[in-house]
Structure 1
């Protein structure tokens, strides 16, 4: 029995939840078995050898042993683009320590350094989905929100002359230089900024490993010796930015549990850096991921936490970003009045921003075009929720047009610094607006423009949105010859990649 990863259960009832997800997936029993085996090999669980008869027993009510429940949760989550938990599948998983979930971690500086160091090293060494084995799963709901709320709890002040809270004892520190020069810190900041440029231009899949490697080196630097408080805070700030970027790149190529773990570690580092706006930004990234995974309630909780925690320090442009993401969450929840209010607040806050506000470098991406794209997507999502409402389509259209025009101008004006991925996503968003307006020819034309950009990116997020948009066109307008031709091009130019090999 150990070889197939299942345990016996003499009295069983059919697992109706698993059966429902299975039928909706369109997979055959053999295909599901093959995917489970392939994922198990990636996890190093070589003892797992599933076949169609074993899948049939699961549907009949047999409870599989670990790591099968986690593998099934991940496979179905990817298939449906939302979090499908082990419990949603009617399965049980072995209880685990809180820290093993990857979210409920101790809020202590020394342990934060160790966790980031260990996690980034494992990522570099193995570089594949599930590299931490069965301990790495997506958290959602209360198990995600409650640990993140501890970000707001003040860190106790250390007695005079004592090391910072959570710092490793002196005997445990590795020998190293007494400090880091200002020039060295500035170089780290410059390198991090360059990584952000590459991500915006090329997508998350091209330079992810380089970011993880830099992150690992910075944590090594933090472990080397006692640093002055100001230097230590700045090093933690760089660590938070790099961990956030590693999470963002992982999210962009479809490594969702990996992305969430990096985001959580980034939030811990931001707390050690005493940088509330940076922590709010990390929470906004987590909120965006939850919207992507079909968890708008969690997204809203996270963005409200970000707003509350940074309300006294956030610049107007940071506030605009948070309001725009709040609008996205309200739109996904089908709450028009609250969505309208958040869009208006985002517009007002952005209008109040000025070049001398002291906006951090990680906010450089949030231009007027980005704001328009976010608000346009909110109205586009409301249109979907409201059954293709012309009212919301008419609100989305001018905003999306302004976003596309802004990204196009930026691409022509400074091609080496432009946000090509955002441009591609805005084109796809504009295409979906035309599809909602029952203008399939224009939808296909814009999708083709997006494909030209996407072929130069390593972004599964862009590729998947292209596939989804084209599938919708062909489903609703199957007679459109141009859509069929573009679908063939998409298959050739953007074949579905194994995200486990990305980065």
Structure 2
């Protein structure tokens, strides 16, 4: 008879980190757990050094040992650690940043504190298991429906130093700096730095003293900083962590009473879902953002969401709906006044509008087997070319995407030489970026070039991509 399948354990990196930071040996932890367990009346808990090694290796100690360890490490480090922070379960409700997070200030603050602590301290690897573990379908969308009706909670006065406008402006300036670094270099370079900054800003929510208006502004500043942190994390391929950060940032935006910022965070989540090929969820998130921000959205926000709607409809083969949404996006953009747009919408300029709709035409051309393919490809080349002409110098990663989009458009109509030229331009930029997301798009280009491999240009295209991507 076959035995029970063996449970695969993974080292508890969080526990390992916090024990190292606290300077606690296996023997000392074993002694301390025994002492504290006896104080609680738990006489049967008497771990050895070997048992502690097993906990480090991924074994889960029985209740109430996880809470005992968390309390001990909190005392040693002076930080408010809980069981989740040290990678162990508890019988109490854990602090998470999933879609079921309570729409209250304390929940948002606690979730951000937990996420930023664990993100700063633990290195991650990029693998497909992470991408498969993101929330999708009803697990993602049902809880987020509450965002549309959630109202800011009453903020109560707290102790600590008095917070003012200059503090908020400082956080906003740092956010702008990190956003610029992400555009220029990709998310890999500054991701942990922005998460550390998010942790510091979030700490003010629970320690500083502020009035109602300043508290709302602080929540908004933390939410916007979180949108940058989540975007960088998505850009480097850490999809589950990115989604958790987006969730927490969305809750912070809700406490700020800022539906426009919330819609921006939802469109970031929609782009992530599209990247992971969850296209229905991507479109649903855009629709949710449109509905939730319907009374507050600026022209740029409405235009951006309509442009994304056009892209996702095209991916789903809904060409008529895609063309309608693209027309709406262009009409709405005519009313945009960048001086009256929030800082987080500065990225959505004419270049971004052209690029988003240009990709929608490229996707439609790829799936159009009839005479309309050439017209769609021409529109895509025109719009993506216009995007490249208008791109500001600092939007380096966006320019790489534009060149990839042009290469894929050329392939859609069999213009392999044009695809090779644009691929070389994209690769030149890619080599200076820390953006695995651009690499993912290049991999897709490489796959689409396979039918042309027998030709000179097609073989060369595959070769240069293979060499660059390893």
Q: Report TM bin, short chain.
A: 0.7 to 0.9
Q: Give the gaps of 5 or more residues in structure 2.
A: 17-57, 60-91
Does 1:346 find its partner at 2:338? no
Q: Give distance in 2, aligned partners of 1:223 and 1:494.
A: 45
1:278-308, Cα deviation, whole Å (9 max, x unpaired): 0011111111111222222211221111111
Name the CA shift for 1:352/1:222 in 2 (closer, same or farther; >3 Å): same
1:259 to 223, 226, 242: 242
Specify the alignment match of 1:476 in structure 2: 451
Counterpart for residue 398 of structure 1: 379
Instruction: Please say if residues 455 and 494 of structure 1, whose CA atoms lie closer than 8 Å, have aligned partners that are also in contact.
Output: no
Judging changes above 3 Å, is the alpha-carbon distance between structure 1 residues 267 and 396 closer, same or farther for their aligned structure 2 residues?
farther
Q: Does 1:146 align with 2:146?
A: no
| Residues 238-262 of structure 1 deviation map (CA, whole Å, 9 limit, x = unaligned) | 1111111111111111111111111
Q: TM-score, normalised to structure 1's length? A: 0.72
For the residue of structure 2 that corresponds to 1:227, the secondary structure is coil
Report SS of the residue matched to 2:188: helix
**2:434, 2:353 → 1: CA distance?**
23
Question: 2 CA distance for matches of 1:314 and 1:101?
Answer: 26
Give the direction of change, closer, same or farther, for the CA distance of 1:424–1:229 in structure 2 (3 Å limit).
same
Instruction: Check whether the contact 2:152–2:254 (CA below 8 A) recurs between aligned residues.
Output: no
- If asked which structure has higher relative contact order (CA below 8 Å, sep 6+), I would say 1
In structure 2, the CA distance between the partners of 1:129 and 1:489, relative to structure 1 (3 Å rule), is same
1:449 equivalent in alignment to 2:390: no
Structure 1 pair 389–215 and aligned structure 2 pair: CA distance change class (3 A): farther
Tell me the residue number matched to 1:18. none
- In the other structure, the counterpart of 1:161 is none
Tell me the residue number matched to 2:364: 382
Q: How does 1:57-136 map to 2 (within 5 A)?
A: 102-129=98-125
Q: What is the CA RMSD across the aligned residues, in angstroms?
A: 3.0
Alpha-carbon offset, residue 127 of structure 1:
2.7
Unmatched segments (≥5 aa) in structure 1: 7-36, 47-65, 68-95, 159-163, 496-503
Q: Secondary structure at the match of 1:206?
A: coil
Please state if 1:439 is matched with 2:422.
no
User: How far apart are 1:128 and its partner, in Å?
Assistant: 1.2
For residue 349 of structure 2, the aligned residue among 350, 357, 367 is 367
The one-character-per-residue Cα deviations of 1:171-228 (angstroms, maximum 9, x if unpaired) are xx6x520x22322221211110111111111111111111111101111111113321
Give distance in 2, aligned partners of 1:396 and 1:314.
32
Query: Partner of 2:189: helix, strand, or coil?
Result: helix
TM-score by length of 2: 0.77
- Residues 446 and 465 in structure 2, CA contact (< 8 A), matched pair in contact too: no
455 and 271 in structure 1: CA distance in 2 versus 1, 3 angstrom threshold: same
Deviation at 1:339, TM superposition (A): 1.0
Question: What residue in structure 1 maps to residue 77 of structure 2?
Answer: none
The one of 193, 212, 221 aligned to 2:204: 221
- Aligned counterpart for 1:328 among listed residues 295, 311, 316: 311
Identify if the C-alpha distance between structure 1 residues 307 and 445 changes in structure 2 by more than 3 Å, giving closer, same or farther: same
Residue aligned with 2:332, SS? helix
For residue 45 of structure 1, report the CA deviation from its aligned partner.
12
SS of residue in 1 equivalent to 2:168:
helix
For residue 86 of structure 1, what is the aligned residue in structure 2? none
Question: Which has the greater radius of gyration?
Answer: 2
Tell me, in whole angstroms, the C-alpha distance in 2 between the residues paired with 1:5 and 1:43: 18
Q: Distance in 1 between matches of 2:408 and 2:182?
A: 24
| CA distance, structure 1, for counterparts of residue 201 and residue 152 of structure 2 | 25
> Please, which moves more after superposition, 213-222 or 291-300?
291-300
Q: Is the 8 A contact 1:400 1:426 kept in 2?
A: no
- Give the Å deviation of 1:389: 4.6
